[in-house]
Structure 1
Amino acid sequence: MVDNSIMGPSVHSSYEKQTGTWQYVVVDPSSQKAVIIDSVLDYDPATQVISTQTADSLLSLIAEKDYKIERILETHAHADHLTAASYLQSRLEKSQGYKSPICIGKRIMQVQELFGKRYGVPVEEYRDVFDKLFDDDESFEVGNLKATATHLPGHTPDHIGYIIGDNVFCGDSLFHADIGTARCDFPGGSAIALYESGKRLLQLPEHTKIWTGHDYVSEERDTPVPYMSVGEHKERNKHLSRTITQGDFVSQREERDATLAEPKLMNPSLQINIRAGRLPRATPLGHRLLHLPLKLKGVEW
């Protein structure tokens, strides 16, 4: 856990290394009220085992600091990790005595319908599972702090970010400067839209901190970094620095995306995440099942 005290909120950043995901607990110091952003549920694809160590570490922090969680925020329906939103909501309701709403952008419904049909998820298992759907630029409070949900399409059509003080929690829009930006080849994704979203973020004051949803370490850089300033991105982001045009960006992004395999956890992630982290309903024998698409190579009968 890393505790970064900054102007406005205090930000606890927690890195989940299996999926390279940054999770955040964002706190108003004056009231101890807080939100959780983009939590992770542990999942082992080899054994199909779901566990909660990562989410439990957030709960331990929250209990230790006596934070009051007002909302559980999602930036989009992730395709690379399972959200712990529903699990956290259940545990927090028991400890706090009230239900912290799970929130996401209003366009999640089109994503739910698309992937619900793809995976055969019953409509009743994803309809109305989110407690709050944010409108574009809708404001809300984190204790005494003002926050805004801002639409950041490109990676996915439903993607939003959260502006809290001099901070933006941008989800899978911008990554570390040496990575650049997220892929845009999911259904409804758009390199042009992501370029415009990125440029909109970089129009914020240069000291604004942009907290990313992921970081991926390498031999060149073995320490994950949760944020960079707007000014740093303008100077160093390999996809969105000052000299990159929209045409340059779209060409680079689409060329790169054409080489990428689908995320390893895409199938279980999307089936859980369109349910807001809820598990599939149990069968009569007590099993909870996810669908795995088969790919036939030169075989038909």
Structure 2
Amino acid sequence: MDSPDPALSRAAEIIEQASGDKSARPSIAGFFDEATNTVTYVVHDPASGEGAIIDSVLDFEAASGRTSNGPADLVIEYVRRHELKIAWILETHAHADHISAAPYLQERLGGKLGIGREIIRVQEVFGKLFNAGTDFERDGSQFDHLFEDGETIALGAIEGIVLHVPGHTPADMAFIFGDAAFVGDTIFMPDFGTARADFPGGDAAQLYRSIRRLLSLPDETRLFLCHDYKAPGRDEYAWETTVRQQREENVHVRDGVTEEEFVAMRTGRDRQLAMPKLIMPSVQVNIRGGRLPDPEDNGVSYIKIPVNAV
């Protein structure tokens, strides 16, 4: 009898195989950027050295409009020191709290730039908000590959699969390599809870279902998170947990919390949250694959700030 969720079943098979076979597990390095509370990951196959970079960060100083490459340069130094071959530069979604360094990394390290296919919906919504004009293509063509739910991906001998986990945004994807799942902004450390769902295209009920889908993976699945903000009472940043720990301890969505309860909680909390400080520059650039808007006739790129529109 066919599984009602074949992508999830295949993901579980990959994780279970890797849990019992160390050679099927990836090596993972996390680079935490405290300015944006973001973790960039380099994940690779130890045997072949083939790897991927997930959720990179470009420094952006909002007051001056200046960019710099400090966080990305740390990643480049690590990749070169370990003589890795970068096959993919992956985005779990179009981030609203930091600008991607994907073009900078791709120019220096190679690899294909990939994101979920639903980025097209995000481009449509924000293309209108920023009045991007007809020159801005809303078809995902700024990326090298648009992933579908259940699509397989590999790094050398490390098997992987991609799961669509919308709710925070329509385009969120989780990338699974071996026994490790990189879940983006769906869920945070158990003592901090879950991501907001009030951005355009976000949906708290959909987020709940996406999280429960992830938490249907084997208990031993390692979950690597995109952000950490140090929950009250915790002094250290942390970004790795497991399915078992989340199911038992997550303050928002542990086992026993219903969808109705979650939606009421999430909706109420989101009403009290300020917009991320870098949402306007971040989304505007990230829907372009991390590229700045085209320079105007004076050779300068500009970030638009819509007034009284959000």
**Given the two structures, how large is their TM-score scaled by the length of structure 2?**
0.89
Distance change (3 Å), C-alpha of 1:250 and 1:6: farther
Return 200-209 or 114-123, whichever deviates more: 114-123
Identity of aligned residues (%): 43
* 1:291 aligned residue: 304
Q: Distance in 1 between matches of 2:105 and 2:253?
A: 35
* 1:279 aligned residue: 292
Show CA shifts across 1:99-156 (max 9, x none).
x110001110111111112112244344511000011110011111111110001101
Show CA shifts across 1:232-257 (max 9, x none).
11111011111211111111111100
* 1:97 aligned residue: none
1:45 paired residue among 55, 62, 66: 62
RMSD: 1.5
* 1:21 aligned residue: 38
* 1:133 aligned residue: 146
Q: SS at 1:232's partner residue?
A: helix
Divergent runs of 4+, >4 A:
none
User: Structure 1 counterpart of 2:222, which letter?
Assistant: K
* 2:28 aligned residue: 11
Structure 1 unaligned regions, length at least 5: 94-99, 297-301
Distance change (3 Å), C-alpha of 1:218 and 1:203: closer
2:169 paired residue among 131, 147, 156: 156
Query: Number of residues paired by the alignment?
Result: 286
Structure 2 unaligned regions, length at least 5: 1-21
1:7 to partner: Cα distance = 5.9
1:73 to partner: Cα distance = 0.4
In 1, are the aligned partners of 2:101 and 2:290 still within 8 Å (CA)?
Answer: yes
Show CA shifts across 1:67-119 (max 9, x none).
000010001111111011111111224xxxxxx11000111011111111211
Show CA shifts across 1:243-284 (max 9, x none).
211111111111100111111100000110000001211112
Aligned: 1:209 with 2:222: yes
Distance change (3 Å), C-alpha of 1:239 and 1:20: same
1:199 to partner: Cα distance = 0.7
Return 67-76 or 83-92, whichever deviates more: 83-92
Return 279-288 or 15-24, whichever deviates more: 279-288
1:185 paired residue among 175, 198, 210: 198
Distance change (3 Å), C-alpha of 1:129 and 1:14: same
In 2, are the aligned partners of 1:126 and 1:274 still within 8 Å (CA)?
Answer: no
Q: Distance in 2 between matches of 1:90 and 1:44?
A: 22
Q: SS at 1:289's partner residue?
A: coil
